[in-house]
């Protein structure tokens, strides 16, 4: 490990030398990046700016990009708007947070365990299962909506938290990412050594494999949290007290165009948690993605 780091360091130093360019090339390079980067952040900046606009500027025509008289009104009015909701706002927030955390933790565990088996067993059945995983990546929810609903009602989990959590736990993307990463970064010799030293499979999984594949599950946490945070029930939840933040936001939005500033303010606030998770896992994302591209 240490040697590898050292080698990386040397390689880095070398490649710094490689990219010395003329000034003109540098200018072209930087402006190209800035232009492309602008495309990426413009909508984000716009929604932040808009959330500070007073009402007359929001409705001004032709619309202006920047705010001339910024105000906090859109944010300060949020609590009173939220009082009009059918159940307390804290309840929606709790639901979203609880569901997101439960899905993220559960998904990492289940996907990690499945990937542990897939990565270590060289059985024909196992490779068939993995093939199934890859095909499943092609499908999306729409096709399965109705049959899934019927299964939910047979299991009796309609109108409970389970209806959010259970179907999200076995997402196939996670198993795919974890398996690819384990193949590359967990040396078989290390596992054999642990087995010889008398460690059980649980111990190997918890104390050896999971720490080694930390970048993979941090990446997975980011994706799982992002998806879970945006969950909206579609016909599977009836009690208002079990609904999520996006639903509360739709209610604010439903109160008309005069509230569009507050909707933007709420949107900006809703973006914060996924971005926070991203900042935590940021450096690991790149590493995991690189192993997904390698062939086994």
Site residues (CB under 8 A) for another protein, limited to 187-216:
201, 205
- Select the span of 72-80, 84-92, 97-105, 285-293 touching another protein (CB under 8 A): 285-293
Dist CA 296 CA 282 (whole Å): 26
**Is there binding between residue 35 and another protein (CB under 8 A)?**
no
In 3D space, the residue among 95, 94, 54, 44 whose CA is nearest the CA of residue 74 turns out to be 54
HSE-CB of 294 using CA atoms within 13 angstroms: 15
Residues 167-186 that bind another protein (CB under 8 A): 167, 169-170, 172, 175
Residues 225-254 that bind another protein (CB under 8 A): 226-227, 229-232, 245-246, 249-250, 253
Among 24, 150, 189, 254, binds another protein (CB under 8 A): 150
* Interface pattern 257-276 for another protein (x via CB under 8 A): ---x--xx--x--xx--xx-
Among 2, 65, 197, 198, binds another protein (CB under 8 A): 65
Rounded least distance, CB 241 to another protein, Å: 19
Dist CA 211 CA 148 (whole Å): 35
**Is there binding between residue 121 and another protein (CB under 8 A)?**
yes
**Is there binding between residue 290 and another protein (CB under 8 A)?**
yes
Among 6, 137, 190, 193, binds another protein (CB under 8 A): 137
- Select the span of 69-77, 83-91, 186-194, 222-230 touching another protein (CB under 8 A): 222-230
Number of residues that bind another protein (CB under 8 A): 93
Among 6, 27, 41, 190, binds another protein (CB under 8 A): 41
- Select the span of 67-75, 84-92, 114-122, 210-218 touching another protein (CB under 8 A): 114-122
Among 147, 198, 211, 256, binds another protein (CB under 8 A): 147
Considering the complex, state which of residue 72 and residue 155 has its C-beta at the smaller distance from another protein.
155
**Is there binding between residue 87 and another protein (CB under 8 A)?**
no
**Is there binding between residue 47 and another protein (CB under 8 A)?**
yes
Residues 5-24 that bind another protein (CB under 8 A): 11-12, 14-16, 18-19
User: How many CB atoms neighbour CB 136 within 10 A?
Assistant: 14
Among 114, 177, 186, 224, binds another protein (CB under 8 A): 114
Rounded least distance, CB 148 to another protein, Å: 5
HEC profile of the chain = CHHHHHHHHHHHHHHHHHCCCCHHHHHHHHHHHHHHHHHHHHHHHHHHHHCCCCHHHHCCCCCCCCCCCCCCHHHHCHHHHHHCCCCCHHHHHHHHHHHHHHHHHHHHHHHHHHHHHHHHCCCHHHHHHHHHHHHHCCCCHHHHHHHHHHHHHHHCCCCCCHHHHHHHHCCHHHHHHHHHHHHHHCCHHHHHHHHHCCCCHHHHHHHHHHHHCHHHHHHHHHHHHHHHHCCCCCCCCCCHHHCCHHHHHHHHHCCCHHHHHHHHHHHHHHHHHHHHHHHHHHHHHHHHHHHHCCCC
């Amino acid at each position: 490990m240490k040697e590898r780091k050292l080698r990386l360091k040397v390689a880095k130093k070398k490649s710094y030398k490689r990219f010395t360019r003329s000034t003109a090339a540098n200018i072209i390079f930087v402006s190209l990046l800035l232009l492309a980067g602008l495309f990426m952040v413009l909508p984000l900046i716009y929604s932040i700016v808009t959330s500070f606009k007073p009402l007359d500027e929001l409705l001004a025509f032709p619309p202006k990009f920047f705010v001339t008289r910024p105000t906090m009104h859109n944010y300060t009015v949020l609590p009173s708007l939220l009082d009009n909701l059918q159940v307390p706002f804290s309840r929606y927030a709790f639901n979203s947070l609880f569901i997101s955390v439960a899905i993220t933790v559960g998904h990492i565990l289940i996907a990690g365990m499945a990937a542990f088996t897939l990565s270590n067993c060289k059985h024909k059945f196992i490779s068939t299962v993995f093939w199934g995983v890859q095909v499943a990546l092609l499908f999306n929810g729409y096709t399965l909506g109705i049959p899934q609903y019927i299964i939910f009602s047979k299991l009796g989990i309609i109108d409970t938290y389970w209806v959010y959590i259970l179907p999200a736990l076995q997402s196939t993307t996670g198993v795919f990412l974890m398996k690819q990463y384990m193949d590359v970064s967990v040396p078989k010799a290390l596992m054999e050594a642990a087995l010889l030293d008398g460690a059980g499979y649980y111990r190997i999984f918890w104390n050896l494999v999971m720490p080694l594949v930390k970048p993979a599950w941090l990446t997975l946490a980011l994706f799982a949290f992002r998806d879970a945070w945006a969950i909206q029930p579609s016909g599977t939840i009836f009690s208002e007290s079990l609904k999520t933040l996006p639903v509360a936001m739709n209610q604010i939005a439903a109160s008309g165009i005069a509230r569009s500033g507050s909707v933007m303010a709420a949107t900006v606030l809703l973006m914060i948690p996924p971005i926070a998770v991203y900042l935590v896992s940021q450096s690991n994302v790149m590493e995991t993605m690189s192993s997904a591209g390698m062939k086994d």
